[in-house]
Amino acid sequence: MKFETNVTDIISRTYNVKSFRFPRVPSLHYKAGQFMFITIKSGEEEMKKHFTISSSPTEIDFIEFTKKLTGSKFSSALDALKVGDWAKIDAPYGVFTFEGEFEKIGMLSGGIGITPLRSMCRYCTDIQSETKITLLYGNHFEKDIIFRREFEEMQERNKNLKVVFTVSEPSESWTGYRGRINAQMIEKEIPDYMERVFYTCGPPRMVEAMEELLKDLGVPEKRIKKENFPGY
Ligand SMILES: Cc1cc2nc3c(=O)[nH]c(=O)nc-3n(C[C@H](O)[C@H](O)[C@H](O)COP(=O)(O)OP(=O)(O)OC[C@H]3O[C@@H](n4cnc5c(N)ncnc54)[C@H](O)[C@@H]3O)c2cc1C
């Protein structure tokens, strides 16, 4: 469905990632992991792009997307948005979704690719799903980890959710994994990986690497669900 709306909230997630919220229209039904088209104005010019809906269907008051601000024309226009500003939404789209249909899933993500997985984890936590989820989330620096506090809180509320961060260039005080997601991490953190359906999302090269990793471990292609974010 398409509707005109106004920004209600802007949340800074990291130094270069922001979430933008809009009122939830009651007739808008979406699945965790789907995406939306958003049109914004820069002066008189309208600009349109598509982003994952980073909110969960259980968050009934708002719909949210989360964008890495890259310095592009669109990013600059977004960065200049204020609460109350006009926007147009066209949603929902996409088949990279999870509605509780699998008993055990693995999630492999990097950087901004976390947005659909945040929606799915939040959805499962809110509905007290029995699905066992292990998420491995890689970033360059600790300061790049998006939704870090929220994932920590979700794990406290949801005994079926395990979130493991890995950082390529950590500070001296970092006690978690170092480097990119690799086969050893999957074997250690998701030892029953052959029983799981995997969701992987991130920049195209990362998604490709994760698919190869899983295939090398023997995970059949039909159990690997992928979403690419081109442009990163
Ligand atoms: C299904 C789907 C879901 C998606 N969900 C999300 C999401 O949740 N969040 C999200 O952030 N993205 C998401 N994307 C990607 C998104 O649609 C854009 O492709 C992406 O955000 C890049 O757009 P951009 O305007 O930042 O850069 P583009 O204008 O597309 O440029 C691509 C790259 O060029 C560089 N660049 C361009 N202009 C400049 C400039 N003036 N100065 C410096 N560098 C520049 C930037 O590094 C940028 O990354 C999704 C894509 C798909 C297909």
Residues 158, 162: Cα–Cα separation, whole Å: 9
The pTM (predicted TM-score) of the whole model is: 0.96
Q: What is the pLDDT of residues 33-46, one digit of tens each?
A: 999 999 999 989 99
Chain centre to alpha carbon of residue 161 = 15
Atom of ligand 1 nearest to the CA of 69: 26
* Residue 232: pLDDT over 90: no
Atom of ligand 1 nearest to the CA of 231: 32
What are the beta bridge partners of residue 45? 42
Sign of CA dihedral 79, 59, 151, 52: negative
Q: Which of 197, 204, 203, 200 is nearest to 222 (CA)?
A: 197
Listed in sequence order, the residues at least 6 apart from 96 whose beta carbon sits closer than 8 Å to its beta carbon are 33, 34, 116, 199, 201, 225, 226, 227
Which residue lies with its CA nearest to atom 47 of ligand 1? 70
Q: Which of 40, 70, 78, 90 to mutate to test the pocket of ligand 1 (most atoms within 8 A of CB)?
A: 70
Place of tokens 């130094």: 15
* Residue 217: pLDDT over 90: yes
CA of 18 from ligand 1 middle (Å) equals 13
Q: What is the pLDDT of residues 199-216, one digit of tens each?
A: 999 999 999 999 999 999
CA of 175 from ligand 1 middle (Å) equals 31
Q: What is the pLDDT of residues 149-190, one digit of tens each?
A: 999 999 999 999 999 999 999 999 999 999 999 999 999 999
CA of 225 from ligand 1 middle (Å) equals 21
CA angle 159, 125, 100 (to 5 degrees): 100
CA of 50 from ligand 1 middle (Å) equals 9
